[in-house]
Amino acid sequence: MKALFIDNHIGFYGAQKSLIAFLENDDKFEKAVVYPKAILFQKFKDYDKIKKKLEARGILTYQFYLPLYKNYKGAPTTFRFKIANFVRNFLWKIHKRKLYDFIKKENFDFIHLNSLTLWDIVNHNFNYFCHARELLSDKGLKDKNVIKKLNICRGIIFIDEATRIQFENNLTNPKIANIENPIDMTNVLKHINKKDEIKRNYGIEDLNAIIISIIGKIREFKGVDLIIKSFNEFSQNENSYLLIVGDGDKNYIQKCKSMSKTKRILFVGEEPEIEKIYAITDIVARGEPEFCIGRTVYEGLFSGCLALQPGTYDDVKKHPEIFKFSDKIFLYEPANVDDLTKAMMRAANYLKTSKVERNPGGNAKDYAEKLAEYFIISINKNKD
């Protein structure tokens, strides 16, 4: 089978990392990837690196104008983003025929969309699968065009229960699957042996301090400000650092910096070798205002870290891939500063009283086989 994978962004984090993990571990399909063309002031600095990485495996990459609908929770709200979003969707409407002609010419058996923000690409002419990685906004869930297009898809892949349940009463046609994110953290091991050197490079002077990290796009929905508030309290009693890793909304980043009451809160920007961060991290933190398990929780747990996660035991129980790490997950009431501070203290106590094994691993190969099987079964069923 010949498959085309379309992504809404270019990078090495989050959804993009999940797609690359599948592409590198799959041996069932002849594959190609489409990434968005840059517009206006955009710069996709990682494109050449990703192109080289994939083409070394025989996977060709292309660029087209693609849609990007801000129909998800936590979407940026800056004027710059709104303008870019408008222009990008305008260019998509003008040039979309070029993408469809390419798909027809190459005769792909199916097309995988790596984000719900790409829903407008779907039509009746080809076999589409859509990966539901986002929580849609109320407006997005009420948009009849979104639901109509998703129901045309041959299948929808959900990364967790939260992304599935939002569509519980809306999806009627597609074959649905819950397949959690692919993780391969084996490269963390080579950095663990150099962690003191890595700490010094990040300005961490006390090599025995507890390190908490929040990793990914820095946006208000991610709750970085909540984590800073809790850490301000926590660090008064614990020898610790907070690493904020990633880039994002400049205004929000500035707001977060102004809230820091200690020099031990370090904004380190983006780190291409993210395994270095996991190698020195003791606790990975999430700060969303509701339960949703991000990729960094999986990566942290598979790297041997503890995790701070908003939600309840019942929430975690629905996710077998991380439930096996339940003793290393410290839950707190979403958006509750005091409860998060208490969770930090419980995690710190665990580190002091328990032997935490650092044996980085992963599930990427199993994930690739499971997702490939889902594609094949869904396409073959459609032929019958």
At 244-283, the pLDDT tens digits run 999 888 899 999 999 999 999 999 998 889 999 999 999 9
What is the rounded CA–CA span in Å between residue 80 and residue 160? Answer: 31
- Which amino acid does the sequence have at 376? I
What is the rounded CA–CA span in Å between residue 86 and residue 88? Answer: 6
Tokens of 211: 């390190």
Residue 153 exposure: Cα atoms within 13 Å on the Cβ side: 32
What is the rounded CA–CA span in Å between residue 227 and residue 214? Answer: 8
**Integer distance in angstroms from the first to the last C-alpha of the chain?**
16
Return the CATH number of the domain spanning residue range 2-182+363-383. Answer: 3.40.50.2000
Residue position matching structure tokens 């997950």 = 329
> What's the whole-number average pLDDT of the chain?
92
Other C-beta atoms lying within 10 Å of the C-beta of residue 148: 12
Q: Which residue stretches of the chain are H helix?
A: 14-25, 47-55, 79-106, 138-142, 144-152, 161-165, 188-192, 195-201, 224-234, 250-259, 275-280, 295-302, 313-317, 320-323, 337-353, 364-383
Tell me 182's DSSP state. P
Other C-beta atoms lying within 10 Å of the C-beta of residue 353: 7
Distances (CA, A) of 64 to 57, 317, 330: 21, 40, 43
pLDDT at 384 over 70: no
pLDDT of residue 348: 97
pLDDT at 58 over 70: yes
pLDDT of residue 382: 65
Contact 14, 113 (CB under 8 A): no
Strand partners, 283: 212, 306
Long-range contacts of the stretch 124-128 (C-beta < 8 A, 24+): 124/152, 125/100, 127/154, 127/379, 127/382, 128/152, 128/153, 128/154
- 160 or 150, higher pLDDT: 150
Q: Enumerate the domain spans of the chain.
A: 2-182+363-383, 188-353
Query: C-alpha angle with apex 190: 204 to 195, nearest 5 degrees?
Result: 15
Most confident of 226-230, 246-250, 318-322: 226-230
Other C-beta atoms lying within 10 Å of the C-beta of residue 27: 8
Q: How confident is the model at residue 170 (pLDDT cuts 50, 70, 90)?
A: confident
The predicted model gives 220-226 an average pLDDT of 95
Maximum CA pair distance of the chain?
Answer: 65
Nearest to 157 by CA among 377, 320, 374, 376: 374
- 356 or 276, higher pLDDT: 276
Chain mean position to CA 18: 7
- Phi and psi angles of residue 40, each rounded to the nearest 5 degrees, phi first: 50, -115
Q: Is the dihedral of CA 283, 157, 166, 114 positive or negative?
A: positive
pLDDT at 12 over 80: no
Return the CATH number of the domain spanning residue range 188-353. Answer: 3.40.50.2000
Residue position matching structure tokens 């109320």 = 138
Other C-beta atoms lying within 10 Å of the C-beta of residue 240: 21
User: What is the arrangement of strands in the sheet containing 30-36, beginning at the earlier edge strand?
Assistant: 60-64, 30-36, 2-6, 110-113, 128-132, 155-158, 175-178
Which residues, at least 6 apart from 85, have a Cβ–Cβ distance to it below 8 Å? Answer: 68, 69, 70
pLDDT at 43 over 80: no
Domains 2-182+363-383 and 188-353 share a fold: yes
pLDDT digits (tens, 9 = 90+) for 101-119: 999 999 999 999 999 999 9
Contact 151, 145 (CB under 8 A): no
